[in-house]
Amino acid sequence: MNDKFSRRRLIQALAASGAMAAASPVLSRTAWPILGSERGPLRIVFYTDVHANPDPETAAALKLAAKGINAWKPDLVLGGGDLVEGDFHMSAEDVAPSWDAFMAMHKAVKGEHHVAIGNRDLVGVLPKDGSPPIADPRLMFKQRLGLDRTYRAFDARGYHVMLLDAVHISDDQYKYHGWISPEQQDWIKAELSRIPRGKPIILTLHLPLLTAFFGATKGMTLGAPPNRVVANNREVLALFAEHNLVLVLQGHLHVSELLRWHGTTFITGGAVCGRWWRGSYYGTVEGINGITLHPDRVEWEYIDYGWHDARP
Ligand SMILES: [Fe+2]
């Protein structure tokens, strides 16, 4: 960022406009119309890409993140995956201290709280000793969060909230693809068939269903690799074509982005860990999203929860 658009000047401008009534600085804010639920308002905090690890610095950051989430007083908290800093080579044992760190944050967050799975939350896919993958690389995620399935749906004040599992293990150079399985697509169809046609829907998943990130950073003629986005996004979005999909909350890219297409707003939610605990990434600082759904509009803001990397 140059001086003209520096973060300090943005914060000063927001403070002058009265946008900083809360303790944590709001870095971006906007609103747009929707056909929402008459039972609103519904206040949601959406956070993503925590990358929890056993580092004491991270524990301090996660305490601040939980405090920032609670200070916003949400009715519902949604997490977008990559909760821990695991990887496909790690065993359940290797990643256990990172899960302890994440669960401390999870427990500190008050109220209703649901999280989607990210690629970093799978373990034992490619064991270091060359042994075959473990029977269920998602088991740790499910066990720690008390879940029997990684995709699910619930009602929140007249909104149908759906969490998807967008990680598909592949045997190519990418190791995984963003992909919504046929089994999940059947489940989506069944869910949609039993809710009223106009009911507003919120989707939460780890890899983006739609993004301008690769156009902006690589060039508009280049597509995204299959491990960075949901590769069968058009197929998935077509399932919602006759429905009121108001919001898609997505992560993975660690940048804050808003994109509106066919009446749906896609929010790429930045990252709790910013640039993997090393500052900001493409101008997005460590932050969380505050979203208020009114019957006629959505208000969204990206909030600096107060932790910044001070390490050299
Ligand atoms: Fe991530």
The pLDDT of residue 22 is 46
Cα 158 to ligand 1 centre (Å): 30
pLDDT in tens, 189-238: 999 999 999 999 999 999 999 999 999 999 999 889 999 999 999 999 99
Give the range of the structural domain holding residue 96, as residue numbers without chain letter.
Answer: 32-304
Ligand 1 centroid distance, CA of 49 (Å): 4
Is 149 part of any domain?
yes
Classify residue 205: in a domain, yes or no: yes
Cβ atoms within 10 Å of 142's Cβ, excluding its own: 15
d(CA 180, CA 207): 10
275 CA distance to ligand 1 middle (Å): 9
Task: Categorize the per-residue pLDDT at 15 as very low, low, confident or very high, splitting at 50, 70 and 90.
Answer: very low
Q: Tell me what pLDDT residue 19 has.
A: 45
Distance 184 CA to ligand 1 centre (A): 22
| 7 found inside a domain | no
Q: Answer whether residue 290 shows pLDDT above 60.
A: yes
Residue owning tokens 């399932």: 239
Res 112 pLDDT > 90: yes
Domain CATH number, residue 193: 3.60.21.10
Q: Which residues pair with 257 in a beta bridge?
A: 268
Structural domain contains residue 4: no
Model pLDDT, residue 23: 56
Using alpha carbons, list the distances in angstroms from residue 79 to 50, 94, 126, 188, 203. Answer: 9, 23, 26, 20, 11
Q: Is residue 26 part of a domain?
A: no
Report the run of H or E that residue 152 belongs to, with start and end: strand 152-156
**What is the pLDDT averaged over residues 38-67?**
96
> Per-residue confidence at 20, pLDDT binned at 50, 70, 90?
very low
Number of domains making up the chain: 1
User: Does any domain span residue 312?
Assistant: no
Q: What angle do CA 302, 73, 206 make, to 5 degrees?
A: 50
> How sure is the predictor about 255, in pLDDT bands with cuts at 50, 70 and 90?
very high
Token couple for 147: 């879940």
**Is the residue at 1 inside a domain?**
no
Cα 118 to ligand 1 centroid, rounded to whole Å: 7
pLDDT band at 311; cut points 50, 70, 90: confident
Ligand 1 geometric centre to CA of 298 (Å): 26
CA of 232 to the centre of ligand 1 (A): 20
Ligand 1 center–CA 80 separation, angstroms: 9
Residue 250 has pLDDT above 70, yes or no: yes
How much distance in Å is there from the Cα of 21 to the middle of ligand 1? 30
Higher pLDDT among residues 216 and 13, named by residue: 216
CB-CB contact of 89 with 123 (8 Å): no
**Is pLDDT above 50 for 17?**
no
164 DSSP 8-state letter:
-
Overall average pLDDT of the 38-57 stretch: 96
Query: What pLDDT does residue 4 have?
Result: 38
Report pLDDT digits (tens) over 118-144: 999 999 999 988 888 999 999 999 999
